[in-house]
Amino acid sequence: MHAGVAWSGQRHRPGGRPGRHLAASLVGLTVLISGCAGSGGAASPGALHQTATRPGPEPSATPSAVPSAKEPSHQAPGLPAPDAAIPKDPSRLADSLTGTAAQLRRAIDDWVRDGGPTKADPPEPVVLLALHEQRIYRYLARNPQVASRTYDRLPKDLAGRARDNVTAVRNLLSLARPVSGPVKFRVRPPEPANVLLDDFRRAERRFGVEWEVLAAVMFVETKFGRVRSPSYTGAQGPMQFMPGTWAAYGMGGDVHDTKDALLAAANYLHASGAPRDYRRALYAYNHSKAYVDAVLLHARQMKRDIRNYYGYYNWQVFVITTRGERRLTGP
């Protein structure tokens, strides 16, 4: 959603028995839908909510938009500006996506080789290229006719990746529910990418839930912890747990602590059927087929190439208002 859309994930009733799906959580969906509920604005169990506001003060992040990388005084040549125009012509759009994807992979390779993911701030090329790629996918998700004509112009491997990402973003956008009134979101930089990766793998070893699925849920829910606001239904923390579900699966941890939240999510998904049946487990997490499909599509991309994890890590939080889309994080 990401990232993303803000909406509440379905949670179990206190006591651990599967419960009814709760209303989409405002926080997750809106932001996550950025690449979904990374799309710009509604809350989902993992992304900020897409938010519509009445004329007046626009939603603001608290603190104000937090950059994902140190902002240099001069942008390196050849990199897309944060708000660079997205081509509308399918041929030009395919060329832009192809070039951006290739540059981003090289930039991620350099970042990983230099040990960067263990540090807090991703390098400027990775941040800008990932944001541009994210914005292209968001545009294609909203323009299916352009998307179908663009896929045919992409290299085979990229076409498959693009279909997965656009479908996931479109699914999460379909769950976004505009809300009225001014809304404030608390955002902050995520923990370093490799720190999160270690946490995902630790949870996988303990509960048998694939780290890519856990990462996809966190990506959709809060854009890897960027969104810190609770949902309007009361879901909290980087994995957006309802209080009753946390009481049953949190194992005495802190719902706002990333390590504790990931272990609890793995515990909950395992109890709900994972890894034997991920669809059943994810549907328990959020009663939405569109949500389940989006999570699994993102997870599939991370399984195919870990660079997709590092790319998603740099997708930003968007919000949708009646005045248009607004980005809350990033350069």
In this predicted model, what pLDDT tens digit does every residue of 17-37 receive, in sequence order? 333 232 233 344 444 433 332
Query: How many Cα atoms sit within 13 Å of 69 on the Cβ side?
Result: 24
Tokens of 149: 């004509």
Q: How many whole angstroms separate alpha carbon 284 and alpha carbon 153?
A: 38
DSSP β-bridge partners for residue 325: 320
Tell me the mean pLDDT in the region 33-46: 32
Give me the percent of the chain exceeding a pLDDT of 70.
Answer: 75
Q: How many whole angstroms separate alpha carbon 223 and alpha carbon 235?
A: 15
Q: Higher pLDDT residue, 70 or 41? A: 70
What pLDDT does 76 receive? Answer: 64
The per-residue pLDDT of the chain, averaged, comes to 81
Give me the percent of the chain exceeding a pLDDT of 90.
Answer: 67
Asked whether the predicted pLDDT for residue 10 surpasses 60, the reply is no
Buried/exposed code over 239-270 (b: 16+ C-beta within 10 A; e: otherwise) = bbbbebbbebbbeebebeebbbbbbbbbbbbb
Q: Are 27 and 227 in contact (CB under 8 A)?
A: yes
Q: Taking Cα atoms as reference points, which of 132, 160, 175, 163 lies closest to residue 32?
A: 175
Tokens of 246: 């946390």
Q: How many whole angstroms separate alpha carbon 306 and alpha carbon 1?
A: 19
Model confidence band, residue 320 (pLDDT cutoffs 50, 70, 90): confident
Asked whether the predicted pLDDT for residue 133 surpasses 80, the reply is yes
Q: Are 2 and 283 in contact (CB under 8 A)?
A: no
Q: How many whole angstroms separate alpha carbon 191 and alpha carbon 147?
A: 33
Most confident of the ranges 25-34, 51-60, 128-137:
128-137
Q: Are 289 and 283 in contact (CB under 8 A)?
A: yes
User: How big is the chain by its Cα radius of gyration, in Å?
Assistant: 18
Question: Phi and psi for 61 in degrees, rounded to 5?
Answer: -85, 145
Asked whether the predicted pLDDT for residue 154 surpasses 90, the reply is yes
Q: How many other C-beta atoms can be found within 10 angstroms of the C-beta atom of residue 303?
A: 15
Model confidence band, residue 74 (pLDDT cutoffs 50, 70, 90): low
Q: State the distance between the two ends of the chain, measured CA to CA, in whole angstroms.
A: 19
Model confidence band, residue 120 (pLDDT cutoffs 50, 70, 90): confident
- β-bridge pairing 318-321 and 184-185: unpaired
Asked whether the predicted pLDDT for residue 204 surpasses 90, the reply is yes
Q: How many whole angstroms separate alpha carbon 33 and alpha carbon 22?
A: 18
Q: Which 3-state string (H, E, C) describes the chain? A: CCCECECCCCCCCCCCCCCCCCCCCCCHHHHHECCCEECCCCECCECCCCCCCCCCCCCEECCCCECCCCCCCCCCCCCCCCCCCCCCCHHHHHHHHHHHHHHHHHHHHHHHHCCHHHCCCCCHHHHHHHHHHHHHHHHHHHCHHHHHHHHCCCCHHHHHHHHHHHHHHHHHHHHCCCCCCCCEECECCCCCHHHHHHHHHHHHHHHCCCHHHHHHHHHHHHCCCCECCCCCCCCECCCCECHHHHHHHCCCCCCCCHHHHHHHHHHHHHHCCCCCCHHHHHHHHCCCHHHHHHHHHHHHHHHHCHHHHHHHHCCCCEEEECCEEEECECC
- The distance from CA 76 to its chain's CA centroid, rounded to whole angstroms, is 26
What pLDDT does 325 receive? Answer: 80
In this predicted model, what pLDDT tens digit does every residue of 240-288 receive, in sequence order? 999 999 999 999 999 999 999 999 999 999 999 999 999 999 999 999 9
